[in-house]
């Protein structure tokens, strides 16, 4: 009995080493797992399921083969790949998960999020996020020609990089009060998320009881995952890229 969580792979053509590491992860660690949860920013960019690049097709096929071997695959949107749709999920044998979602992890209710919604100190970003997540806006974008969307993605990336450069460290991290509020709201003592690229296990107290926030790491320098079994609490692990 094993459940695995990963996030923030930021798969892209210019990082074939990350793609290789992920394919290795699927054939190794993930092989035989009950569930694989991918908690956002799986791809560095996503402008619509109709793009169908060789990389996207390769990843979909690899996920489908894991799915067909009996592993359930769940995919949550991140702030970079929030346009992943049903079409890609069908090809990959994956189920789209809402952000946030509470799952029953071997008897313990566990809150899953990408994590960007917790960074409430970044007011400007939260406004941007609200716009991007608007279904009408998304429909409008997806109807534009592929070349327009590719151009737009490049621009957004440049703007985002420029804006983040001047931001203070605490603004880029989660707001501690928001974590507690969300965990209380969902009635959980455990939260798993990614996004911040600050892998760690944080112990906190919720309603006078010990609680845990597990943060996944990004795959730019090493690979990170969380492994849960029926017998042990979930563990944050890493390996060489």
Minimum gap (Å) between residue 214 Cβ and Mn ion: 16
Q: Considering beta carbons, is residue 10 or 29 the nearer one to Mn ion?
A: 10
Q: Considering beta carbons, is residue 56 or 79 the nearer one to Mn ion?
A: 79
Minimum gap (Å) between residue 195 Cβ and Mn ion: 4
Q: Which contacts (CB < 8 Å, 24+ apart) does range 176-185 have?
A: 178/118, 178/120, 179/118, 179/204, 179/213, 180/204, 180/206, 182/100, 182/111, 182/113, 182/118, 183/111, 183/211, 183/213
* 93 binds Mn ion per the rule CB under 5 A: no
d(CA 42, CA 195): 10
Q: Considering beta carbons, is residue 198 or 237 the nearer one to Mn ion?
A: 198
* 78 binds Mn ion per the rule CB under 5 A: yes
d(CA 130, CA 205): 30
Number of residues this chain uses to bind Mn ion (CB under 5 A): 4
Contact predicate 32/71, CB 8 Å:
yes
* 79 binds Mn ion per the rule CB under 5 A: yes
* 110 binds Mn ion per the rule CB under 5 A: no
Q: In this chain, which residue has its C-beta nearest to Mn ion? A: 195
* Residues in touch with Mn ion (CB under 5 A): 41, 78-79, 195
């Amino acid at each position: 009995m094993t459940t695995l969580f990963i996030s923030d792979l930021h798969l892209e053509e210019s990082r074939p080493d990350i793609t290789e590491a992920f394919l290795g992860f699927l054939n190794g660690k993930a092989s035989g797992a009950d569930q694989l949860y991918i908690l956002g920013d799986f791809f560095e960019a996503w402008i619509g399921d109709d793009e169908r690049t060789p990389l996207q097709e390769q990843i979909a096929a690899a996920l489908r083969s894991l799915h067909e071997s009996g592993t359930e695959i769940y995919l949550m949107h991140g702030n970079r790949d929030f346009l992943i749709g049903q079409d890609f999920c069908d090809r990959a044998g994956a189920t789209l998960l809402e952000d946030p979602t509470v799952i029953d992890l071997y008897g313990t209710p566990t809150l899953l999020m990408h994590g960007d919604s917790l960074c409430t100190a970044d007011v400007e970003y939260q406004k941007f996020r609200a716009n991007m997540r608007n279904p009408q806006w998304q429909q409008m974008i997806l109807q534009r020609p592929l070349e327009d969307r590719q151009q737009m993605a490049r621009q957004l990336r440049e703007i985002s990089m420029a804006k983040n450069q001047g931001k203070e460290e605490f603004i880029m991290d989660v707001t501690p009060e928001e974590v507690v509020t969300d965990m209380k709201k969902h009635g959980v003592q455990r939260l798993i998320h990614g996004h911040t690229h600050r892998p760690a296990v944080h112990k906190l107290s919720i309603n006078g009881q010990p609680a845990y926030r597990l943060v996944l790491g990004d795959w730019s320098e090493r690979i990170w995952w969380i492994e849960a079994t029926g017998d042990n609490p979930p563990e944050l692990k890493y390996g060489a890229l």
